[in-house]
C-alpha cells in the first residue's frame, strides 16, 4: 500500500515536499525500489524523474527537475518522499510514487 496526499500546493520559486509513505506486510528488503513519475498537466505521457534502488537515490538527468530535486525519504522508515526546489509554473501536473518491495 502506497500513500500520498491527493493534492499538494506550492508557490512559484518556493519548495514543496512530495510525501510518499508505504506499508508492506513483508520486511523492507535490500531490493526495495521507489520510482517517482511526472505527468505534466495536459500531457498524456509520464516521465520518470527519480529512482531509488540498491540503497542509492538516482535523480534522472533529463527533464526540468534534474537540478531541483532532493531525496528526503528513508525506506527503513517506509518513506519515499522527495523535495522539489525552485518551483516553476510548468511543474503543475500529476506526480506518482511507485514502491516495489520484493518478494
Question: What CATH number is associated with residue 13?
Answer: 2.60.40.10
Domain that holds residue 53: 2-100
Residues of the chain short of pLDDT 70, as ranges, are none
Do β-strands 16-18 and 33-40 pair in parallel, antiparallel, or remain unpaired?
unpaired
**pLDDT confidence of residue 61:** 79
pTM score over 0.85:
yes
**pLDDT confidence of residue 37:** 95
Nearest to 80 by CA among 25, 29, 34: 34
Rounded to the nearest angstrom, the gap between the alpha carbon of residue 50 and the centroid of all alpha carbons in its chain is: 6
**pLDDT confidence of residue 8:** 96
**pLDDT confidence of residue 46:** 93
Domain count, the chain: 1
**pLDDT confidence of residue 98:** 97
Query: What are the phi and psi torsion angles at 75 (to 5°)?
Result: -55, -30
Nearest to 49 by CA among 61, 32, 33: 61
- Grid cell locating 7: 493534492
Amino acid at each position: 500500500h502506497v500513500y500520498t496526499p491527493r493534492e499538494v500546493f506550492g508557490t512559484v520559486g518556493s519548495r514543496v515536499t512530495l510525501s510518499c509513505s508505504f506499508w508492506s506486510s513483508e520486511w523492507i528488503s535490500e531490493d526495495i525500489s521507489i520510482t517517482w513519475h511526472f505527468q505534466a498537466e495536459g500531457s498524456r505521457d509520464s516521465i520518470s524523474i527519480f529512482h531509488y534502488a540498491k540503497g542509492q537515490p538516482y535523480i534522472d538527468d533529463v527533464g526540468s527537475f534534474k537540478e531541483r530535486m532532493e531525496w528526503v525519504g528513508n525506506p527503513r522508515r517506509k518513506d519515499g518522499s522527495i523535495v522539489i526546489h525552485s518551483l516553476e509554473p510548468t511543474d503543475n501536473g500529476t506526480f506518482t510514487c511507485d514502491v516495489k518491495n520484493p518478494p
